Amino acid sequence: MSPPTDSPPADLDRLSKAELKSLVVKQFEQLAELNRVVAALRDEIARLKGGPPRPNIRPSGMEQATDPKPSHDAGTKPRRGSTRAKLTIDEERIIEVVPPPGARFKGYASYVVQDLVIRPHVIDFRCQRWLAADGKMVTAPLPQGIVGHFGPHLRRFVLAAYHQGQATMPRLLTLLHAIGISISKREVVRLLNAGQDCFRDEARGVLRAGLATSPFITVDDTGARHQATNGYTLQLGNAHFTAFITTAAKSRRNFLEVLRASHTDYVVNDEALAYMRERALAEHVIARLLAHRKAALRRSGGVDCAP
């Protein structure tokens, strides 16, 4: 719409009420169009000058929140996904009723109830024992996952309650006693600390796999306090993996050791020698490292091409 060019009527007093109203409406429309053109021109001038564009402010949802919610009849109530389809039935119970005289059986009305069963489960493993012909006693081994006198499900519950649920040791011990588990505080501490190398190996495997396959990683660190000692937690990862490593130092050497992912071997290759010479390392130190490399290659039957 182009800017208005029409001149006003010669005599406004002779216009009727309807004509005046039509004229005012037309003027409002032209004014709104002029405001839109001015805003567009300002945006274009800001873009040509390299300035920031006008912010896109979304309308507030307060008006929608104050609107009355539409009422749904019993037949038009929004349907939700079937909960029963997501559940696995573990037990079926038949609830009987005394029928009135002359009644006919019409099947069952199903009513699904979710419940939680937390109770002690004590197992007595009776391991067979055989006496071999040579006099050696052969005893059947315990099933996999049985370590000590507490099963894997109890250990899993203790670890989840302590680390994920952040339950303190006294509260965790009280909870186990309330369930009916006969256990002491020392045994709970042992469940939390002993035999957890598998978790450490798993975390180390995640870090090694991520460092070996990722084209890039991001790192960050923050202060951490463990056992009344200040430390640092280093975070490494990207969109595919994340690893957290807590150490007592914050230095370049510590960061390089973290990137080694617990590997303790070091390789003296051409890149390492070039880096040493670039950093002006003493030549006698480079010569000793190079001598070790040549000796290792001779033992393995390889050929050293480095100067």
Highest mean pLDDT of the ranges 13-22, 45-54, 167-176, 191-200: 167-176
> pLDDT-derived band of residue 220, with 50, 70 and 90 as boundaries?
confident
Largest Cα span, the chain:
131
Q: Would you say domain 200-259 falls under CATH 3.20.20?
A: no
pLDDT at residue 239 in the model? 85
| Mean pLDDT of the region 208-233 | 83
pLDDT at residue 216 in the model? 86
Task: Tell me, letter by letter, the H, E, C secondary structure of the chain.
Answer: CCCCCCCCCCCHHHCCHHHHHHHHHHHHHHHHHHHHHHHHHHHHHHHHCCCCCCCCCCCCCHHHHHCCCCCCCCCCCCCCCCCHHHCCCCCCCCCCCCCCCCCCCCCCCCCCCCCCCCCCCCCCCCCCEEECCCCCEEECCCCCCCECCECHHHHHHHHHHHHHCCCCHHHHHHHHHHHCCCCCHHHHHHHHHCCCHHHHHHHHHHHHHHHHHCCCCEEEEEEEEECCEEEEEEEEECCCCEEEEEECCCCHHHHHHHHCCCCCCCCCCHHHHHHHHHCCCCHHHHHHHHHHHHHHHHHHCCCCCCC
- What 199-206 contacts at long range (C-beta under 8 Å, 24+ apart), as own/partner pairs, is 203/243, 204/261, 204/262, 206/241, 206/243
Total-model pTM: 0.46
Q: Which amino acid is at 149?
A: H
Residue 64 has pLDDT above 60, yes or no: yes
**Sequence-ordered list of residues with C-beta below 8 angstroms from that of 119, at least 6 positions apart, any chain:** 179, 180
For residue 210, give the nearest of 245, 176, 179, 178 by alpha carbon.
Answer: 245
2-15 tens-digit pLDDT:
555 566 677 777 77
pLDDT averaged over the chain?
A: 81
> What is the C-alpha separation between 288 and 275, in angstroms, rounded?
16
Tokens linked to 108: 């069952």
